[in-house]
Amino acid sequence: MRPVRKTPAHTTDKLAELVCSNTFKSTETSNAHGLLKAEMRALGSMILECADAARVPAGSALAVDRDAFASAVTAKIASHPNIEVTREEVTTLEPCSIIATGPLTSDALAEAIRQRLGVGALAFYDAIAPIVSRESIDETIAFQASRYGRETMEGEGEEGAYLNCPMSKEEYDAFISALTTADQFHGHEFDEAPYFEGCMPVEVAAGRGAETLRFGPMKPVGLQDPRSGSRPHAVVQLRREDRHGRMWNLVGFQTRLRIPEQQRVFRMIPGLANAEFLRYGSIHRNSYLNSPAALSSHLSLRDDPTVLFAGQITGVEGYTESSATGLLAGINLSRIIGGDEPVIPPPVTMLGALYRYMREADPTHFQPMNANFGLVDDLPETIRDKKRKRELIAERALAAMAEWNESIESDARVAETS
């Protein structure tokens, strides 16, 4: 719709304008973003082709000259014989379409989506708490329990659904002091939103008084540390984010601290000294759907499989993830129009694992997600060396993606000859 209608962040009339950083992150396949990009290349990503052409030196990261990148994408789209570019605001959901209107989806379209899917289906802000990997949590300190022994999840046995990091008074005081004095991110002007209840950054809550968190998310009531036999002074609770229990979310720790500060301050929590962050916390304007509650598995309306969603509005985070879901939405709409079923790569791939997350995540706690290894199925064997383990996961993913791609291309060949 640009430049006819502007957004608070974009400044040009180019397609694929990168509004903030100019990087698609790592190219190494032992990195989750690197693996996702390798999978996209296997599927012939036009976005990555343009990024390669606009690449600037940035070590192993794929960083681009943003003008050259957006110009390349715009030229490619505008010169394609089957594409007509119409610059106007879309305000209705029409059959045979892909809605990829991003975190700053216009109000009129957001309203149309809410009318179709229900008011709870589309959020306008995300308040994201960090997620750490299970294997990086020190289980000689963190203990599994639910408050008063309640909220135990089915199949969890007697131990409770949460991992609890206990704090002494000294540890709590030092933590609050570090939290309230840490360096925070101050976003774009439009991003300075008033905080909603339940969306307040943990450092803002802590700044209201030394005891505020101890009466909020860090309250120790109903919990007993099995090692000391007594109630801790304060507790940080972690809730599992995925079915396999590989990703754990710091409950109530949505934050605007800068990333190095999140590492420094949250590693002060007993049990998290060596925490591996699979996702960092953040809070910003973001229109996104509650995909597990509202969409089909290929991210379409449930009552019309030809209206697909892609990009950040589906609940993925980041340029690479958004482009990857756009690529799959294109493949699927083309298949549907050609009379084939929509398809999703297997969950051993990063793209397939992202789609699985958006299908199977708990709708009551759904938050946007970036590519990370916690989403992908584990290897059958135990590998201690983390880098080696990721390389093997990446090898498996790329082999699976090649096989999957071959199967959908052969569907396309059959369709062409029939």
Ligand X SMILES: Cc1cc2nc3c(=O)[nH]c(=O)nc-3n(C[C@H](O)[C@H](O)[C@H](O)COP(=O)(O)OP(=O)(O)OC[C@H]3O[C@@H](n4cnc5c(N)ncnc54)[C@H](O)[C@@H]3O)c2cc1C
Residues making contact with ligand X (CB under 6 A): 1-2, 7, 9-10, 19-21, 89-90, 100-106, 109, 188, 311-313, 318-319, 322
Closest contact distance (angstroms) between CB of 72 and ligand X is: 15
Rounded Cα–Cα distance for residues 357 and 351 (Å):
10
Closest contact distance (angstroms) between CB of 305 and ligand X is: 20
Closest contact distance (angstroms) between CB of 6 and ligand X is: 8
Tokens of residue 212, six digits: 């505020």
Q: Using an 8 Å Cβ cutoff, are 137 and 275 in contact?
A: yes
Closest contact distance (angstroms) between CB of 45 and ligand X is: 13
Q: Which residues contact 312 (CB under 8 A, 6 or more apart)?
A: 102, 103, 286, 288, 318, 321, 322, 368
* Of 164 and 367, CB closest to ligand X: 367
Closest contact distance (angstroms) between CB of 107 and ligand X is: 8
* Of 173 and 191, CB closest to ligand X: 191
* Of 89 and 192, CB closest to ligand X: 89
Closest contact distance (angstroms) between CB of 273 and ligand X is: 29
* Of 51 and 145, CB closest to ligand X: 51
Residue at token pair 């690197």: 34
What's 8's DSSP letter? S
Would the CA dihedral through 338, 407, 327, 378 be positive or negative? positive
Phi, psi dihedrals of residue 294, rounded to the nearest 5°: -115, -20
Residue at token pair 């079923």: 341
Q: Using an 8 Å Cβ cutoff, are 9 and 104 in contact?
A: yes
Closest contact distance (angstroms) between CB of 303 and ligand X is: 21
Residue at token pair 């397609």: 15
Q: Which residues pair with 89 in a beta bridge?
A: none
The total of other beta-carbon atoms located within 10 Å of residue 93's CB is 17
Q: Using an 8 Å Cβ cutoff, are 388 and 367 in contact?
A: no
Rounded Cα–Cα distance for residues 259 and 266 (Å):
10
User: Residues 28, 265, 34, CA angle at the centre, nearest 5°?
Assistant: 10
